[in-house]
Amino acid sequence: MIMSSVYQSTRDPKLKATSREAILKGLAPDGGLYIWPQMAENPIDLEKICSSDYMQTAQTVLGKLLPDFTEEEIRECVKGAYTDNFDDPALTPVQDVDGVQVLELFHGPTSAFKDMALTILPYLMRTALSDTDEKVMILTATSGDTGKAALSGFEDVEQTAICVFYPDGKVSDIQYRQMATQKGSNTAVFAVRGNFDDCQTRVKELFMDEELNKYAADHQVRLSSANSINIGRLIPQVVYYFDAYRQLVNNGTIQLGDEVSFSVPTGNFGDVLAGYYAKLLGLPVKKFYVASNSNNVLTDFIKTGVYDKNRPFVQTISPSMDILVSSNLERFLYFLSGNDSEQVASWMKQLAEEGRYDIGAENLARMRELFDADFLSDDETRQVIKDVYDKTGVILDPHTAIGYKMAADHKEEGPVVAVSTASPYKFSADVLKSLGIEGLSEWEALHKLDELNQDNLPPRLAELEDLPILHDQKLTADDMKQAVMDACERLYD
């Protein structure tokens, strides 16, 4: 095994780590994110990709970016994650929808794109733990989607357990049932009185809590997180950019070597950053279109070079993109600035202190060669859902609709892939409202949408209404620490 510490903090080149360590730690000790500065020196053989399949591509990409994992280890992780979990044989099929290539990333266990990474992260973590007796306890605060995808991924994975906290009464009925019916001897789910910020703030405090960390360490448990700053979540997302390209070559839409653009509905900048990584590894990308909702901090940043989070937070019908601080942008800034950690550290300090930084004209010009951005209001998003349905019969979810619109606006300039991040069923009521059908309960809406959508409701959503509730504990934020301690005892006995 090569134990090369190729990863380092975006803010300090002295803080190095192997990919195993980076996966177990999540965040670097100085608050920076782990990156591999020289990753672009290891390009991927595109011709080889085009004659393989999703699993082989995953093996190739993960093999490159996780150099201290053996081939055999990666094969086991890929097999565990992608063999039985997806309801489409292509895993991430591309579909031509009126001249836009829609890349469907929602065929996994929870019907949202976070499954692409959260099905494999638990295997990567367990592999990283394999030379120790240590165990991992994942703590996750969720506003809905991430919690279920993480629970489903970690369910019954050895040496791991997971506690999910969601705001009581503030998630949709479908999301509630997805979490409360979760099976697995290593899972725990808690409704917390308060809002998402209360859950998230408390979880962040728990990671720093000395007493809790000591308690966990005494039980040989390491606290860790499953959010998108972890390289174990980011790297698996690089795979589907290559696989989309392979599909387009194989179905004759493009020829090997042609440039393609990608339009990506964006929140934390993780998905689009994975595309940028694919580009660094040699994928011929012309443009990335960064698509946002009314929380359009990234639109302004990509147009002006000024990142300014000092603005009202808006609740939209694309809630997974309701974000004002896009954590993964820091990794892009590192590469954009020419691997200048000091510069990145200074921008991040300004962001923490003033909520704002300016990357300057030169960096802006360089960014704009590859990136463009736009945003849609909720009303505009509903209009896109209706127009696409009327014209093609395809029903898009609100997140996907935003990216689709940007792709459609640029489809005359060359082939463009719109990344589809969620099944419309997860947002049935809002989708139906866009189509002019209102006043249904969430479950009625789900079945009505199934009627309109050729009866293709995934069984895992259909069965939810009848599954037994397995998690019904309600807590205050103050009780969360004790809940994690109890879970350490209970889930690891």
Active site residues: 114
Contact string 384-423 vs ligand PLP (x = CB under 6 A)? ---------------x---------------------xx-
Nearer to ligand PLP, 269 or 288 (CB): 269
Nearer to ligand PLP, 140 or 268 (CB): 268
Contacts (Cβ under 8 Å, ≥6 apart) of 42: 64, 281
Binding ligand PLP (rule: CB under 6 A), the pick from 143, 266, 294, 316 is 266
Q: Site size for ligand PLP, by CB under 6 A? A: 17
Spacing of C-alpha 269 from chain mean position: 9
Part in contact with ligand PLP (CB under 6 A); list of ranges 65-73, 110-118, 183-191, 330-338: 110-118
Burial of 284 (0-12, 13-18, 19+ CB in 10 A): middle
Part in contact with ligand PLP (CB under 6 A); list of ranges 131-139, 268-276, 404-412, 443-451: 268-276
331 interacts with ligand PLP by CB under 6 A: no
A 10 A CB-CB count for 493 gives 7
317 interacts with ligand PLP by CB under 6 A: no
Least distance between ligand PLP and beta carbon 270 (Å): 3
Nearer to ligand PLP, 122 or 267 (CB): 267
Contact string 219-238 vs ligand PLP (x = CB under 6 A)? ---------x----------
Contacts (Cβ under 8 Å, ≥6 apart) of 400: 102, 265, 418, 419, 420, 421, 422, 424
**DSSP reduced 3-state for 310:** coil
270 interacts with ligand PLP by CB under 6 A: yes
Least distance between ligand PLP and beta carbon 493 (Å): 34
A 10 A CB-CB count for 266 gives 32
- Residues written for the chain: 493
Least distance between ligand PLP and beta carbon 376 (Å): 13
**Alpha carbon distance 98, 232 (integer Å):** 35
Phi, psi of 135 (to 5 degrees): -125, 160
Cα separations in angstroms, 61 against 14, 129, 356, 381: 26, 21, 35, 34
Part in contact with ligand PLP (CB under 6 A); list of ranges 266-274, 351-359, 449-457, 461-469: 266-274
271 interacts with ligand PLP by CB under 6 A: yes
Please choose, from the candidates 82, 152, 142, the residue with its C-alpha nearest in 3D space to the C-alpha of residue 464.
152
Please choose, from the candidates 226, 25, 34, the residue with its C-alpha nearest in 3D space to the C-alpha of residue 145.
226
| HSE value, Cβ hemisphere, 13 Å, CA-based, for 250 | 18
105 interacts with ligand PLP by CB under 6 A: no
Single-letter residue type at 353 = E
Least distance between ligand PLP and beta carbon 175 (Å): 11
Part in contact with ligand PLP (CB under 6 A); list of ranges 56-64, 109-117, 158-166, 172-180: 109-117
Site for ligand PLP in 421-440 (CB under 6 A): 421-422
231-250 and 54-65 are packed helices; what angle lies between their axes, rounded to 10 degrees?
140
Nearer to ligand PLP, 266 or 363 (CB): 266
Contacts (Cβ under 8 Å, ≥6 apart) of 75: 59
Part in contact with ligand PLP (CB under 6 A); list of ranges 65-73, 262-270, 343-351, 376-384: 262-270
DSSP letters spanning 375-418: E--HHHHHHHHHHHHHHHS----HHHHHHHHHHHHTGGGS-EEE
Nearer to ligand PLP, 122 or 265 (CB): 265
Nearer to ligand PLP, 321 or 475 (CB): 321
Residues near ligand PLP (CB under 6 A) are 112-114, 145, 228, 265-271, 320-321, 399, 421-422
